[in-house]
Amino acid sequence: MKNKITNIEELQAEIARLKTVKMEQEAYLEHQFGILKNKINKPVHFFQNMFAFLPNTASLFSNIGTKGGAFQGDWLTKSLRVGLPFLVNRVFFRKAGYVKRILMGLLSSQAAGFFNKERLAQGVDAITSWIRKSTKKSHTAKSGKNRRSDYNFGIPPDSETY
């Protein structure tokens, strides 16, 4: 609607009209954005409520949209989150239905979040220390009679070298 503005009063009236139109449009867009946001969040809320009885699965959906998202961690955690559900579905649940596959995929991705480099290193250290202890015990058991303290290679006390 283009009107020819001929004087300052008409200009000020047009500026005021445009400001009210701007405020009305902003309010309308904020309302529409709120409706759209609620529509997008409904599936997330549905899955949160559906898996609320399982431990630690609600956190999977609550991390979506945050910085880092649901897939945070080191390279081991990220690769296990992707690879473990694929492996579980392809190897163990090959002929299972879709519901079982989806549930096992969610659970295995949560289990993959438990592992990281530090926990893997701690497990390897525990295994190696256990192996080292068992090998030390086997060496001492084999050489029980032949210890170095049993042998005396020095000069006998009754010798003539005194």
Residue 17 lies in domain:
1-50
Report the alpha-carbon distance of residue 80 to residue 72 in Å, rounded.
12
Encode pLDDT of 126-160 as tens digits: 898 888 887 776 665 555 555 555 666 677 767 77
Exposed (0-12), middle (13-18) or buried (19+): which is 28, by Cβ within 10 Å? exposed
Q: What is the pLDDT of residue 151?
A: 66
Whether 6 and 83 map to the same domain: the answer is no
Report the alpha-carbon distance of residue 114 to residue 107 in Å, rounded.
11
Q: What is the mean pLDDT of residues 34-50?
A: 81
The answer to whether 113 and 84 have CB atoms below 8 angstroms apart is no
pTM of the model: 0.31
Spatial CA neighbour of 80 closest among 119, 110, 103, 57: 110
Q: Residue 1: pLDDT band by 50, 70, 90 thresholds?
A: low
Residue 54 pLDDT greater than 90, yes or no: no
150 in any annotated domain:
no
Residues 6+ apart with CB under 8 A from 56: 110
Query: Into how many domains does the chain fold?
Result: 2
Whether 60 and 91 map to the same domain: the answer is yes
